[in-house]
């Protein structure tokens, strides 16, 4: 053999790779055994095997050692390149190829370690890659998914309409720009499990700018979306009874008034207050008091239509919106139904409690044309029902003094 050459950075190579980067050999040296020598070299841990002849002038044929098949050139032609230049050129190309390979390995390791799912496709929409998170969210392994159409692996629907969502990668390729799914997108895993997701799809271009595929990055946002919905719910509902609070009541009341104006109808607001609730709460304790308020809220909801709204105004006060009434007497019927239901003993924490309530009624548009006025006038009517003996209902009468005015004249007065 002629000689063995190692690259200058051979010692810096990782322990799992071959340490010798290249072997340059003259198979026509005296100690060579011809083709057997070549076969032996092919089994050696080298990246590149270069065969050349030092005895014959010829054109050397660089070979890729492990996977290539050697060819010897004995043709007597003018020397075009020296053995040294061929070796250097071949090593340079090998180094570039290996750098590109390692860059791909690092990229795949990075994609497998991030928390987002990644799927790429070719321009025809067939999957070329998916990382481990994508495997988990879709229920498909790399081996099963690669080469399959994206629509078979990535089943996304609209969470509201339950219709199949548009293909985000196809849209990215068609528009040649980054795109995303709607806010209500839901991914259906292979086994039927559903996850709320957010995504971004981007086209992939080659070195000349031509689109060769697309990549989608998406994440499971089920927990975040559920928390957001819960926070929104709590902002509009009472924490104890989970009835709509004042803010949501005002919104629904405003919408109901707009609908009443369009259809030339009426609506009514019922202000409900439990009689003598404070002594019950003080004597029985707050746990009993809270449980009683929950029982009252359930009965109020059972007394009205699904289109109506029962809200907790605060403490032992509730406001009921009857979204449509033909005449004011209809509101009185609903009020009596509520009073009758609340008189039935409440079984609270193994204790039977007997209560009564009073109801004040205001009617739109006669007693007000905005939410605040209607609620305030219903509260004023409630005061009249309290002063008339409790456990009854009363309509708002223009000129009647409100609880606020009553309290200002007698700061110690309470409407229990």
Chain-centre distance for alpha carbon 184: 8
Report the C-alpha gap between 288 and 282 in whole angstroms. Answer: 10
Cα→Cα distances 4→22, 23, 49, 158, 223, Å: 8, 5, 10, 65, 61
Tokens found for residue 263: 């259809």
CB 361 within 8 A of CB 393: yes
DSSP state of 269: E
Distance CA 1, CA 4 (A): 8
238, 275, 316, 379: which one is catalytic?
Answer: 316
Taken as a whole, the chain contains a residue count of 416
The sign of the CA dihedral 168, 171, 176, 178 is negative
Sort 9 into a burial class: Cβ within 10 Å, 0-12 / 13-18 / 19+. Answer: exposed
Structure tokens at 230: 């819960």
Nearest one of 65, 64, 61, 41 to 52, comparing CA atoms: 61
- Of 232, 218, 64, the residue nearest 153 (C-alpha): 218
CB hemisphere CA count around 37 (13 angstroms): 18
How distant, in Å, are the alpha carbons of 98, 144, 318 from that of 104? Answer: 10, 21, 65
Query: How many other β-carbons are positioned within 10 Å of the β-carbon of residue 253?
Result: 23
Closest by CA to 135, choosing from 83, 191, 174, 96, is 191
Q: Could you tell me the sign of the dihedral formed by the alpha carbons of 224, 230, 236, 238, in that order?
A: negative
Is the alpha carbon torsion for 144, 146, 148, 149 positive or negative? positive
Told to judge if 391 belongs to the known catalytic residues of this protein, a careful annotator would answer: no
- Give the pair of three-digit tokens for residue 179: 């795109």
Distance between CA 173 and CA 79 in Å, rounded?
A: 51
User: Cα-flanking dihedrals φ and ψ of residue 269, to 5°?
Assistant: -120, 125
Q: Which residues are catalytic?
A: 316
């Amino acid at each position: 053999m002629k000689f063995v050459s190692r690259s200058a950075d051979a010692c810096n190579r990782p322990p799992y790779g071959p340490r010798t980067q290249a072997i340059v050999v003259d198979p026509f040296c005296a100690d060579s055994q011809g083709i057997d020598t070549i076969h032996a070299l092919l089994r050696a841990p080298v990246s590149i095997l270069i065969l050349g002849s030092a005895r014959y002038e010829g054109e050397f044929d660089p070979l890729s050692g492990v996977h290539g098949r050697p060819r010897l050139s004995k043709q007597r032609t003018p020397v075009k390149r020296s053995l040294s230049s061929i070796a250097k050129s071949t090593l340079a190309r090998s180094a570039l190829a290996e750098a590109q390979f390692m860059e791909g390995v690092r990229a795949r390791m990075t994609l497998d370690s991030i928390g987002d799912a990644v799927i790429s496709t070719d321009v025809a929409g067939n999957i070329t890659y998916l990382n481990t998170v994508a495997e988990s969210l879709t229920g498909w392994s790399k081996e099963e998914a690669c080469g399959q159409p994206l629509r078979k692996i990535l089943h996304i629907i609209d969470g509201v309409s339950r219709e199949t969502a548009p293909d985000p990668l196809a849209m990215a390729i068609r528009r040649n720009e980054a795109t995303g799914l709607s806010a209500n997108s839901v991914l259906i895993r292979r086994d039927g499990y559903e996850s709320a997701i957010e995504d971004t799809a981007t086209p992939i271009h080659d070195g000349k700018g031509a689109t060769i595929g697309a990549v989608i990055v998406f994440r499971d946002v089920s927990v975040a979306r559920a928390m957001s919905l819960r926070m929104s719910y709590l902002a509009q509902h009472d924490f104890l009874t989970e009835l709509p609070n004042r803010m949501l009541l005002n919104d629904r009341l405003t919408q109901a008034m707009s609908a009443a104006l369009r259809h030339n109808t009426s609506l009514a607001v019922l202000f409900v207050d439990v009689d003598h609730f404070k002594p019950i709460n003080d004597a029985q304790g707050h746990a009993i008091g809270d449980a009683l308020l929950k029982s009252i809220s359930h009965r109020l909801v059972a007394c009205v239509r699904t289109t109506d709204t029962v809200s907790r105004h605060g403490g032992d006060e509730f406001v009921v919106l009857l979204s449509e009434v033909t005449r004011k007497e209809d509101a009185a019927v609903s009020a009596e139904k509520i009073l009758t239901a609340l008189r039935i003993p409440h079984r609270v924490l193994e204790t039977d409690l007997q209560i009564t309530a009073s109801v004040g009624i205001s009617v739109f548009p006669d007693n007000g044309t905005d939410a605040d006025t209607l609620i305030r006038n219903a509260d004023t009517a409630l005061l009249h029902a309290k002063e008339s003996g409790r456990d009854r209902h009363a309509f708002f009468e223009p000129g009647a003094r409100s609880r606020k005015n009553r309290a200002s004249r007698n700061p110690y007065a309470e409407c229990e």
